[in-house]
Structure 1
């Protein structure tokens, strides 16, 4: 029977492998990686064990992955630097090279390590036996911690049906929540865009108003006293006309509706309406008093005078 050897790494005992299982390519790789240092010896033995397809498949997933994680974290793969491959190409001592010597991609090994760290040895081993693939495990790693914890506990029981049912339920719920969050985000962005448009419009209007005021200010500074007073009187007449139009239009219409309601229901609201008019008269009297204005003797509105027109 062939002689067997073992190697201990941080209390992890690496299973011994039969030399008869080495392929010619693996023998060449093992010879190339022969080292004079402890670190290189360690990497060589790890490679010799993990590189063999048959015995690699006999390792449990968590044991083999924990060994690879140790090599990566300890950067033992750097011991390959300076060695040459079977075709004479020198090694740089990178993690990618180490993974390629195992016949695996760096991405695949990193996925195994990430699964081990996230899911734990027991749950990962159980999921592996259930036939759970990389894509599903990648989904599980993206779930919230409480959902991961629930899946891990069910995975430890080894009940594949219960695990699959729970996984589908959690993923469906997580997908729905993500969709709702995305929708709310879209709504917030839409509101933000709408507010931006409103602000842009108001800013444009404000700039336009500022420009008009600046033009008006320049005209006032350059105008003669007669031209200034004429423009000011024109503005005041326009305001007076607007107020009068409100009174004779909207206010009068409101009074008419109240009068119709009074006639229809036998109620008298004339006192209420009189108080409203009294308030307007008081307001106008206050303005008259403030500017010491005499009673006007004009028989027609001032804005109908030829001079004002």
Structure 2
């Protein structure tokens, strides 16, 4: 059986390469690799310098802190991404290219470095060195950071003199005063909050009473709307009678008791208070006469018993 003849594939042209562009891309990649390598070498170099500095000095080394601050802000530690390392105890660090891993490679921790950088930001290089020389520890520096700037400056001035005892005395005095002021402010704040709570309770009570009054008024309004004229006037008369009884009880009770005490005082001292008392009675009579005149009420009743005391009006 004869083989089938396979047709030859058509020839196609390869795209022409741009030599200049290819060369430029190769140069860029070489530059990036070189830059990355240089940055990584720089971080490694700084890592070694910081490790050496911290091995020599047990306390904060400001030069090292400045380098650490720059590394953290620029994130240069990422140039070591993917590299493993070991901490001072020989424990493996999975990635030195993180800030935590970088700090562990230095023999410290990220939280410790952050604490150092806070002190550097608050006190500055010179002051931090002076405080370190005077023997101020981390706990002390944390307390000093909370002080106002003026009191911080006073401590630094004493630290410059190098007198540790004078520095400690001043620090204790300032911190004690600051704590006392803080306690007083807290107490005042508690008192203000207590006042607000009391006012809130009063307002809540008043609001409740107001709501209750509104509800009662609404009930009364609906009752009046649905009531007959006889029911309405009966309710109104009951309310007016209650007010009349209240006024009469005030006159015959509290007012009369006051007049009695004034009479006793007049008897003991010989002073005459009757004119003053008469003026009060006259004022009450004038007030009642005004109401009588306004509503054109008769001056006297024909019947002996008041209308509101009759059985049919009850």
TM category (shorter chain) comes to 0.7 to 0.9
* CA gap 1:263/1:102 in 2 versus in 1, 3 angstroms: same
**SS of the residue aligned with 1:191?**
helix
What is the TM-score when the length of structure 2 is the normalising length? 0.81
Query: By how many angstroms is 1:222 displaced?
Result: 0.8
**SS of the residue aligned with 2:220?**
helix
Distance 2:36 2:46 in 1: 15
1:121-140 matches, within 5 Å, as 121-140=125-144
Match of 2:252 among 233, 240, 248: 248
Computed over aligned residues only, the root mean square deviation of the Cα atoms, in angstroms, reads: 2.3
Distance 2:211 2:101 in 1: 64
**SS of the residue aligned with 2:73?**
helix
**Aligned equivalent of 2:191:** 187
Query: By how many angstroms is 1:127 displaced?
Result: 2.1
**Aligned equivalent of 1:74:** 74
**Aligned equivalent of 1:306:** 311
**Aligned equivalent of 1:49:** 49
**SS of the residue aligned with 1:186?**
helix
Distance 1:211 1:130 in 2: 74
CA contact (8 A) 1:50 1:56 kept: no
Distance 2:231 2:103 in 1: 91
Unmatched 5+ stretches in structure 2? 1-34
Distance 1:88 1:254 in 2: 96
- Which protein, 1 or 2, shows the higher relative CO under an 8 Å CA cutoff with sep ≥ 6? 1
**SS of the residue aligned with 1:120?**
helix
**SS of the residue aligned with 1:236?**
helix
**SS of the residue aligned with 2:297?**
coil
Q: Which moved more, 1:297-306 or 1:177-186?
A: 297-306
Distance 1:151 1:43 in 2: 36
CA contact (8 A) 1:130 1:160 kept: yes
**Aligned equivalent of 2:38:** 38
What is the TM-score when the length of structure 1 is the normalising length? 0.83
* CA gap 1:62/1:85 in 2 versus in 1, 3 angstroms: closer
Distance 1:194 1:268 in 2: 47
CA contact (8 A) 1:49 1:56 kept: no
**SS of the residue aligned with 2:298?**
coil
Aligned residue-pair number: 276
CA contact (8 A) 2:93 2:105 kept: no
* CA gap 1:42/1:207 in 2 versus in 1, 3 angstroms: same
Look at both structures and tell me which one has the larger radius of gyration over its CA atoms: 2
**SS of the residue aligned with 1:211?**
helix
**Aligned equivalent of 2:13:** none
* CA gap 1:266/1:58 in 2 versus in 1, 3 angstroms: closer
**Aligned equivalent of 2:162:** 158
Q: Which moved more, 1:111-120 or 1:282-291?
A: 111-120
